[in-house]
């Protein structure tokens, strides 16, 4: 069968660098770090006392107080970012969906009528309602043993509820579910949405991911794994992918929302098109629950699968937004995989890790890093990998990691990698739209 072309028509972002796509992008390009001392709770006794928190976010600016109280923060991020993306796509408050009149009348008036049965939501989150779970557990164990739980505890906690909220608010009755694959969650959501559209099973998908894991359990749990940086005296420079002195990732939070549509659906309603999504790949390391395959086997396989899915060659890719978490093993394994996949073309690539600025948004990382690729294509700018100071002998110095300063470059195609605990790997590929 002939597959439909899929395009990006809307973006939304709640991030440690800004609470809309423009602020997020401008701060990426400027090399701004989102890291600072944790304000969400007293972290003074933790090994890591800083994170990349979202700043200046008030859910009541966007959501009614009663509704907001029934949502975990990760769902609030999801709802607000998806509203931004729908507005950006020209679907303001479901306006297109609720056009009055019959299809014949609308057609005669030259108006576009959207079919809510063919609009869906696939949303990723690695953890879901982490804070809600912790709050309810603390209330129980600090009480007298009487089981008093909020009737909204389960709906606030489960990772799929964000997709439900977005669907309910917009009346989208198409495919609706969550993807949960640790740090690859929102990339898997993008791939599933992409496949549904190109197979003709949906016209429009709201996709992306959100996470709000800057909690006692989030920091404490990752500290116990020895996964987080403990550079408490220099938080803004703690996330330093590819630097010899890197000592772990910096936990981030937020959300990224992307509107994907079939090309013909976007054209029929006169939508702005950012770029085209052309491929997605998935693989497993089948090696270890937290460590990457030492030879980057899963990463190699997923990038090859993505290129094959897109029908593109390594030479056609200009930019790779790497998983690049700033861990000693992960950065090297991913770099080796890039060299295996791209061969000599690897030395013509621009590579960067935007986690050096945003921190690691876990299940939401893939969405905001895909957005960085989309905006790199639109603006012709490679965002930098900041905080690089010391060369690592395990990395090839001839590779272009875009250290410390953004660089102007025509970006015809950009690939984003995400790898999660459990050995889950997912990559997506975007290219400049041509009619």
> Catalytic residue positions?
183, 323, 360
Cα–Cα dist 61/70, whole Å? 16
| Residue 213 neighbours by CB under 8 Å, 6+ apart | 126, 127, 130, 251, 253, 362
Cα 35 to Cα 359: distance, rounded to the nearest angstrom:
7
Residues in the chain: 435
Contact 243, 392 (CB under 8 A): yes
The residues, any chain, with a CB within 8 Å of residue 253's CB and separated by 6 or more, are 16, 51, 52, 53, 54, 73, 77, 211, 212, 213, 214, 361, 364
Distance CA(270)–CA(292), nearest Å, equals: 44
For 187, counting Cβ atoms within 10 Å of its Cβ (0-12 exposed, 13-18 middle, 19+ buried), the class is buried
Q: Are 360 and 249 in contact (CB under 8 A)?
A: yes
Would you call 397 exposed, middle or buried from its count of C-beta atoms within 10 A (0-12, 13-18, 19+)? exposed
Report how far apart, in Å, the C-alpha atoms of 347 and of each of 176, 341, 380, 397 are: 41, 12, 19, 10
Structural tokens at position 240? 């330093």
C-alpha distance from residue 192 to each of 124, 207, 255, 281, 380 (Å): 11, 9, 18, 10, 27
Name the pairing type of β-strands 413-420 and 204-211. Answer: unpaired
**Cα–Cα distances in angstroms (integers) from residue 28 to residues 274, 357, 358, 413, 423, in the given order:** 18, 7, 8, 19, 28
| Cα dihedral value 247, 232, 35, 420, nearest 10 | 30
CA distance 195 to 189: 10
């Amino acid at each position: 069968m002939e597959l439909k072309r899929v395009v990006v028509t809307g973006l939304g972002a709640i991030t440690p660098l800004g609470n809309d796509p423009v602020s997020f992008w401008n701060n990426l390009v400027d090399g701004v770090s989102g890291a600072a001392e944790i304000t969400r709770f007293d972290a003074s006794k933790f090994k890591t006392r800083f994170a990349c928190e979202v700043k200046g976010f008030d859910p009541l600016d966007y959501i009614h107080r009663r509704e907001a109280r029934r949502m975990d923060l990760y769902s609030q991020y999801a709802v607000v970012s998806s509203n931004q993306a729908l507005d950006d796509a020209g679907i303001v408050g479901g306006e297109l969906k609720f056009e009055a009149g019959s299809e014949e009348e609308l057609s005669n008036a030259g108006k576009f009528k959207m079919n809510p049965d063919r609009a869906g939501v696939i949303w990723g989150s690695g953890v879901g309602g982490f804070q809600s779970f912790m709050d309810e557990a603390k209330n129980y164990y600090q009480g007298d043993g009487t089981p008093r739980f909020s009737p909204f505890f389960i709906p606030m906690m489960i990772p799929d509820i964000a997709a439900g909220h977005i669907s309910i608010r917009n009346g989208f009755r198409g495919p609706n579910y969550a993807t949960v694959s640790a740090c690859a969650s929102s990339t898997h959501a993008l791939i599933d949405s992409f496949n549904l559209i190109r197979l003709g099973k949906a016209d429009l998908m709201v996709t992306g991911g959100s996470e709000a894991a800057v909690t006692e359990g989030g920091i404490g749990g990752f500290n116990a794994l020895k996964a987080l940086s403990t550079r408490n005296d220099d938080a803004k420079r703690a996330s330093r992918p590819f630097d010899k002195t890197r000592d772990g990732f910096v936990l981030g939070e937020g959300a990224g929302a992307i509107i994907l549509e079939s090309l013909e659906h976007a054209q029929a309603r006169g939508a702005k098109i950012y770029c085209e999504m052309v491929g997605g790949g998935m693989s497993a390391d089948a090696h270890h629950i937290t460590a990457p395959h030492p030879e980057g086997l899963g990463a190699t396989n997923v990038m090859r699968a993505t290129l094959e899915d897109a029908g593109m060659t390594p030479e056609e890719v200009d930019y790779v937004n790497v998983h690049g978490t700033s861990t000693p093993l992960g950065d090297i394994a991913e770099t080796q995989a890039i060299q295996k996949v791209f061969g000599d073309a690897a030395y013509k690539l621009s590579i960067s890790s935007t986690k050096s600025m945003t921190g690691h948004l876990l299940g939401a990382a893939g969405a905001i890093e895909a957005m960085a690729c989309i905006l790199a294509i639109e603006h012709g700018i490679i965002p930098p990998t900041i905080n690089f100071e010391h060369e690592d002998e395990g990395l090839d110095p001839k590779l272009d990691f875009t250290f410390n300063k953004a660089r102007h470059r025509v970006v015809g195609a950009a690939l984003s990698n995400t790898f999660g605990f459990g050995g889950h790997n997912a990559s997506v590929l975007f290219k400049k739209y041509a009619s």
